[in-house]
Amino acid sequence: MTLIVQEIQAKSILSTSKIYPYVINPYTGCQHGCSYCYARFMKRVTRHKEPWGEFVDVKINAAELLRKEITRKKRARVWISGVCDPYQPLEAGYQLTRQCLEILIQNNWPVIIQTRSPLVLRDIDIIREAGDIEVGLSITTADDEIRKLFEPNAPPITDRIQALFKLHKAGIRTYAMIAPVLPGAEGLAELLRGKVDYVLIDRINYHYADWVYRKYGLEECLTDEFYYRTRQALLSML
């Protein structure tokens, strides 16, 4: 797969969000390219012709914009990030997420990070300095073979669990986002015990990944019954 990377000048970086007051997306597009990702709708906005997961626009002026925007906006919680993974592989080189995180922490803004990547551990030095921060790892199943079917370009499950453990052990408030609830998700209760402060469980009402369920004979796992049964099993064990 060829990844098309473009460096762009964004017009703004600190955007309002329906989930948290603000959201920062240092990138448009995501290398993880998970089959079910709701952010695929972004193609309608950005007009990219490439398949989701095969393009990333890098907002190289993200930190510069943020320094200006936080002086003009009311302090409130910032989500990093909503429609891309802030720690996708390109972040290792560009460090846009790290730069934005440093600015937010220096200015004492509350932050919530959501990622699938253990690369977040690189920034544990500045995360520790934050007055109000939470770090979450999205983990949809305990079965890495299932993970490979739905999110083959994302980091392995064991790496994400280990990242949560290291963050939690460092005294950082952590959470796991189990969404969508994939086959094998019930096994996460044991894996997450003692590694997170809380767990979010949800389903994604998009149908981008229906073809994956059909291809591998997993249609039963698309049903309401499967979701509520698995959710209840997780809640009872957690």
Nearest to 178 by CA among 209, 155, 157: 157
Share the mean pLDDT of the chain. Answer: 96
Q: For position 41, what pLDDT does the model report? A: 80
- Which residue range(s) make up the domain with 84? 4-237
Helix residue ranges per DSSP H, the chain: 42-46, 62-69, 91-94, 96-106, 124-127, 144-150, 157-169, 188-192, 210-215, 224-237
Q: What is the pLDDT of residues 124-180, one digit of tens each?
A: 999 999 999 999 999 999 999 999 999 999 999 999 999 999 999 999 999 999 999
Residues 6+ apart with CB under 8 A from 104: 66, 70, 78, 111
Q: What is the pLDDT of residues 63-83, one digit of tens each?
A: 999 999 999 999 999 999 999
Q: How many domains does the chain have?
A: 1
Residue 81's CATH number: 3.20.20.70
Residue 39 scores a pLDDT above 90 = no
What's the CA gap between 31 and 53, in Å, rounded?
5
Alpha-carbon Rg for the chain, nearest whole angstrom, is 18
Q: What is the pLDDT of residues 172-199, one digit of tens each?
A: 999 999 999 999 999 999 999 999 999 9
Length of the chain: 238
Q: For position 155, what pLDDT does the model report? A: 98
